[in-house]
Amino acid sequence: MAAGGCRYQFRIALLGDAAVGKTSLLRRYVAGAPGTPEPEPEPEPAPTVGVEFYSRMLQLRAGPRVKLQLWDTAGHERFRCITRSFYRNVVGVLLVFDVTNRKSFEHICDWHQEVIATQGPDKVIFLLIGHKSDLRSTRCVSAQEAEELAASLGMAFMETSAKNNCNVDLAFNTIADSIQQALEQGDIKMEEDWGGVRLIHKTQVPRAPPRQQPPGPCQC
Ligand SMILES: Nc1nc2c(ncn2[C@@H]2O[C@H](COP(=O)(O)OP(=O)(O)OP(=O)(O)O)[C@@H](O)[C@H]2O)c(=O)[nH]1
């Protein structure tokens, strides 16, 4: 269904190791949409199986209203062949690590490489996310080294917390603005057989009823 007044749909995936907080970040973002009732406190999220889908409308700074289709992928290795099949149709990726889990930070290059290997280097906008920034005492990845990694991979970096609702909207606004900018500058182009960016028409033209076939010669 066309979303009211929307021009584009952007597909964005969250990738990163198991338990870094991808589902929590996404749920926090989707629950924060204007007009959404205050959510009930959620039970602990279960590990994601394969890929789960969310969406939220967003008014971009540059003007257009977009629908973000958000794909929450399982971080566990055993789902990798399922999640990998989704990389081809995304225009944005949040690469998420947990600031208290050094291994999840060290694996960011592998996640990045997986997407590049599928999509090529020029079709995806990345944003590096250091998540669980509320856990100050157990942090083991500094903002500075994460910034350096992000710069070396040609992307921006941001820290978030689903628990404190810190920078959650900002992270999604930032990646959506960057996608919009890349589209305007022609760095990313819409293609028929690619689902990363889709044009959504404001009003759907009702389909013409099927044409009545003129009655053929009687077969009996
Ligand atoms: N302190 C803190 N804990 C968090 C935050 N976000 C998520 N968590 C906790 O981290 C654990 C894993 O969260 P999930 O959202 O399930 O992680 P995930 O990356 O989606 O995991 P997979 O689906 O297995 O890939 C849960 O116990 C969450 O409550 C946060 O911002 N701060």
- Domains of the chain by range and CATH? 2-199 (3.40.50.300)
Query: Which of 17, 23, 52 most suits a substitution to test ligand 1, by most atoms within 8 Å of the C-beta?
Result: 23
The number of C-alpha atoms within 13 Å of 102 and in the hemisphere containing its C-beta is 2
Distance 144 CA to ligand 1 centre (A): 23
The tally of CA atoms less than 13 A away on the side-chain side of residue 68 is 29
Q: What is the pTM of this model?
A: 0.88
Q: Is 161 in the pocket of ligand 1 (CB under 6 A)?
A: yes
The closest residue, in CA terms, to atom 9 on ligand 1 is: 21
* CA 59 – ligand 1 centroid, Å: 27
Average pLDDT, the chain: 87
Residue type, 63: G
C-alpha closest to that of 8 among 195, 133, 144 = 195
Closest protein CA for atom 27 of ligand 1 = 44
CB neighbour class for 169 (10 Å; exposed up to 12, middle 13-18, buried from 19): middle
Q: Is the CB of 22 under 6 A from ligand 1?
A: yes
**In whole angstroms, what is the distance from residue 139 CA to residue 137 CA?**
6
pLDDT digits (tens, 9 = 90+) for 19-29: 999 999 999 99
pLDDT score recorded for residue 35: 65
Are the beta carbons of 22 and 47 closer than 8 angstroms? no
Distance between Cα 203 and ligand 1 center (Å): 39
DSSP tag of 24: H
Alpha-carbon span 80 to 74, nearest angstrom: 8
- Per-residue confidence band for 220, with pLDDT thresholds at 50, 70 and 90: very low
Q: What is the DSSP letter of 167?
A: S
**Distance from first CA to last CA of the chain, Å, rounded?**
44
Report which secondary-structure segment, H or E, holds 160: strand 156-160
The token pair that represents 214 in the structure block: 């003129």
